[in-house]
Amino acid sequence: MIRKARIPDVKVVHKLLLSYAQQGLMLSRSLADMYECLRDFYILELEGEVIGAVALHICWEDLAEIRSLAVSQAHERRGVGRQLVQACLDEARGLGLKQVFALTYQPGFFEKMGFDFIEKSELPQKIWSDCIKCPKFPDCDEIAMSIRL
């Protein structure tokens, strides 16, 4: 079942994201940031267990970002990530957004979902709001991908 995240999910999702961050597969997020961005998150729950999470963060009037996509290792390669991203794309369409992007280390996954490779310079809203504060800036090694809705 895919649903919007709730307060009791925050620590579980934070732990899931932290496991990927420790492997260098995504940037870490603080617990405080998780609470602040709670409304951005979707959860995929199976038999009462959170097995995946993703966030849709609105950046501008026509632009949103898919962030913090993580699936528990026991449930990888079973379509969980695809379902979560699709929920974000459906919401983005419903909101009237025209473009959704992701910065990722897994470009093959997003390419299968219909995303195209883009230059990070095409995302000035992202660069000047978030990237500028990132410890990897300006040497970001994530791959920028985008889909037009």
The reported pTM is 0.90
102 near 145, Cβ under 8 Å? yes
> pLDDT tens across 112-148, in order?
999 999 988 788 665 545 555 555 555 667 889 999 9
Residue 45, strand partner residues: 50
Nearest-Å Rg of the Cα atoms of the chain is 14
Strands 99-104 and 63-71: what pairing? Answer: parallel
114 near 97, Cβ under 8 Å? no
Q: How far apart are CA 61 and CA 97, in angstroms?
A: 7
Question: Which has more pLDDT, 108 or 139?
Answer: 108
List domains and CATH numbers for the chain. 2-148 (3.40.630.30)
| Cα angle value 77/110/133 (rounded, 5°) | 110
Q: How far apart are CA 126 and CA 109, in angstroms?
A: 21
> pLDDT tens across 7-56, in order?
999 999 999 999 998 988 887 888 999 999 999 999 999 999 999 999 99
Q: 83: part of which helix (H) or strand (E)?
A: helix 80-95
20 near 52, Cβ under 8 Å? no
